[in-house]
Amino acid sequence: MKYIFKIYLIIVFLFQIELKADSFKYNSYNNHGVIGLINMPTARFYDEQSHGLTIYDGTPDQKITLSSSPYDWLEASLFYTNIQGLPYPGYEYQDYKDKGFNVKLRLKEQGNFPAVAIGVMDIAGTGLYSSEYIITSYGINNIDMHFGLGWGTLNGSKDTIKNPLGYISDNFKNRPTETEGQGGQFQPSRYFSGQTASPFYGVSYALNDKTLFKIEKDTTLTTDTLDYKKAKSNYSVGIDYALNENFVVGFSVERGSTASLKFIYKSSPKNSYQKYKYQNQEQNSNNEDQYQNLITNLERNGIGVNKVIETANSIGLELTQFTHSNLQVVEEIIKQAGKDSGIEKDIKKNLKIVNLDAITEFDDSFEENSNLIYEREKKSQFNTKTGLKFRPFIASREEFFKGALLLENDSEYIILDNLMLNVNLKYSLADNFDDLRYPPLNTFPAQVRSDIKQYLKNMDEGILIGRAQIDYFISPHKDHHLMFTGGILEDMFSGFGFEYLYFKNDTNYSVGFELFNAKKRDYDWGFGTLDYQNVTGHLNFHYRNYGLIPFDMKLSYGEYLAGDVGTTIELSRSYDNGMVFGVFASNTDVSEEQFGEGSFDKGIFFNIPIYGNLINYTWRPLTKDPGAKLVRRNTLHGLLVKFQPIN
């Protein structure tokens, strides 16, 4: 082992050559959905916004992992696994299911010295995959070398060393074997602890643009809970073959005793995201004046014009649009449209969303001292779109994977600028929900979400109503906004209520509250309801950070659908192409014992704009009733912030 490490250091100091191996093309996810080799991680990262899916079929575990890169220096992934041969307690006829989070942080990029990263696998899970590591990576042309140290389930080598962190504190010398509480919470006492740690290393070599060869010293612990076959070798080898830029298939022989197969989908925004292309006006505009040309140019590029006013030095545009979710794109279109129309005056804009002031650059005084050039005739509008949506339901006690491919129609009838009806209809093209039959284990304090199986089982009963609601918006005073809503609010609840928000355009925070009377829908997805209802409401604080680590934060306090009271925190990152990654956690007056496995409500949410937002999902390790909120189509903050600068 020490000779391997010496060779690694010699190469690091002697060779400083162009690096090809550290790239989106050659890096790929390992069996656990972490950028790495076969089972071992590396210190490599994708660009922020990158994301991927890994499907792994091994022995004894089979995994589905969703991976994302909210920042260049952070990789996060969540996994579901089916462990063959390990019985599910109480349901011994089927295999055990598990789920968890993985996190990896970059400490240093490669320069004269190696890249360095630190990571935790199964960070808040049952402990079956609980492990930590420190890893270095150094690449030369198409060779990438890695050397690291593993704890937990990565500490299965015979060639271990004393835990170096034990010299810092005796607390690192003992690794807890029991899961705290009900499981599903962070357990810092476990991280990087144990009497020993296992050094591991590996190399990847790009044979060509499509084929990557990998070999590693595999230190996976094979003698603990999981029934791995006895290792015949200390090494695992594998081949990854790129079908194209986004799809990779990998084959591995692990520890000389088992063969495995994995399929990878990966996407990088730098490679796939196409910027908006301005649509030039056709040249047959006849004798239109410059203002009519401006209106035509804007509307051709997806921006509706409500009003045009003019002063001696400026033009004021009152605009409304839903096509672009990026303020920078809107401003570029306005600039180009003004230039093409021959307008030399300064252009000021007020951007309205459902008649709410999203962006204001001129006030009432400006309007009073200007001439009205154009005002749109107010009339109703009808918009509709139909597309495919994927509805997953993973790791149920009945089966590892359940899901539906849905044909969904979303229709919007704008009765007035601030009054609209939204309808969502679903039709299942294919699903396997029929045999969902096991009831939830915990339904405290009231069953509001844990009966989701009853809804899913009826998803093949024809055309279903997902939503049918009417919304009314008003801004009674500058920066003060109200929304009133009623109807079928989501898949599982109908009701009515309102939201208030104080939102000032030139600040990065807003505050407000919401109050809704929610009634449980029946399982037929129609207009009927069940007996349960509750008044739910929350105080909300939103903050957008533009600093060194950009993020959005939402804090809310109040009563949830099930009647429990507490606080939810959401942290997310949004991007100019519509992509969103986020995490959330709720702490309510329901105790860990009452909540059961998982201890508290938590999860991640993401929106990936592929094929009309086909991938739009909120994931929870377990579907429980505490901490449940209404899944609302629109919120005031969501509407108004979409045209603030992206962080």
Q: Does residue 156 share a domain with residue 299? A: no
Is 41 within the bounds of a domain? yes
Residue where a domain terminates, one of 242, 272, 302: 272
- Residue 621 predicted with pLDDT over 70: no
Q: What is the mean pLDDT of residues 580-588?
A: 89
pLDDT band at 612 (very low <50, low <70, confident <90, very high): very low
Q: Does residue 347 share a domain with residue 313? A: yes
Provide the angle, in degrees to the nearest 10, between the axes of the packed helices 290-300 and 327-340.
150
Looking at residue 330, what is its pLDDT?
85
Higher pLDDT: 175 or 274? It is 175
Q: Does residue 337 share a domain with residue 212? A: no
- Our count of domains for the chain comes to 3
- CA 601 to chain CA centroid, nearest Å: 17
Q: Kindly compute the dihedral angle of the four CA atoms of residues 476, 482, 485, 491, in this order, to the nearest 10 degrees.
A: 160
User: For the segment 90-104, what is each residue's pLDDT rounded down to a tens digit?
Assistant: 666 677 888 888 999
- Residue 369 predicted with pLDDT over 80: yes
Report the alpha-carbon distance of residue 480 to residue 512 in Å, rounded. Answer: 9
Higher pLDDT: 423 or 355? It is 423
- Residue 8 predicted with pLDDT over 70: no
Rg (the chain; Cα; Å): 28
User: For the segment 274-302, what is each residue's pLDDT rounded down to a tens digit?
Assistant: 567 777 766 444 446 888 888 888 888 88
Is 278 within the bounds of a domain? no
- Which of 126-130, 135-139, 286-290, 595-599 has the weakest average pLDDT? 286-290
Is 465 within the bounds of a domain? yes
Q: 78: which strand partners?
A: 66, 101
Looking at residue 182, what is its pLDDT?
54
Is 647 within the bounds of a domain? no
pLDDT band at 454 (very low <50, low <70, confident <90, very high): very high
Position 275: which residue type?
Answer: K
- Which of 207-221, 251-265, 297-311, 416-430 has the weakest average pLDDT? 297-311
Q: Does residue 433 share a domain with residue 346? A: no
Report the alpha-carbon distance of residue 555 to residue 326 in Å, rounded. Answer: 24
Q: Does residue 342 share a domain with residue 252? A: no
Domain of 311: which CATH number? 3.30.300
Q: Does residue 631 share a domain with residue 485? A: yes
Q: Does residue 533 share a domain with residue 439? A: yes
Is 285 within the bounds of a domain? no
Residue 385 tokens read as: 């779109």
Is 43 within the bounds of a domain? yes
- Residue 613 predicted with pLDDT over 70: no
- CA 626 to chain CA centroid, nearest Å: 22
Looking at residue 614, what is its pLDDT?
45
Q: Does residue 435 share a domain with residue 362? A: no
Give me the residue label for tokens 């220096």. 73
Q: Does residue 487 share a domain with residue 442? A: yes
Cβ–Cβ under 8 Å, residues 260 and 58: yes
Is 646 within the bounds of a domain? no
Q: Does residue 318 share a domain with residue 258? A: no
Is 570 within the bounds of a domain? yes
Q: Does residue 324 share a domain with residue 243? A: no
Looking at residue 225, what is its pLDDT?
67
- Residue 218 predicted with pLDDT over 90: yes
User: For the segment 232-257, what is each residue's pLDDT rounded down to a tens digit?
Assistant: 999 999 999 999 988 999 999 999 99
Q: What is the mean pLDDT of residues 221-237?
A: 85
- Which of 384-393, 529-538, 570-579 has the weakest average pLDDT? 570-579
Looking at residue 523, what is its pLDDT?
95
The percent of residues in the chain predicted with pLDDT above 90, rounded, is: 44
Cβ–Cβ under 8 Å, residues 29 and 264: yes
Looking at residue 43, what is its pLDDT?
95
Residue 296 lies in domain: 290-375
Higher pLDDT: 54 or 190? It is 54
Task: Tell me 232's DSSP state.
Answer: S
Looking at residue 391, what is its pLDDT?
85
Q: Does residue 436 share a domain with residue 492? A: yes
Domain of 242: which CATH number? 2.40.160.40
Looking at residue 2, what is its pLDDT?
61
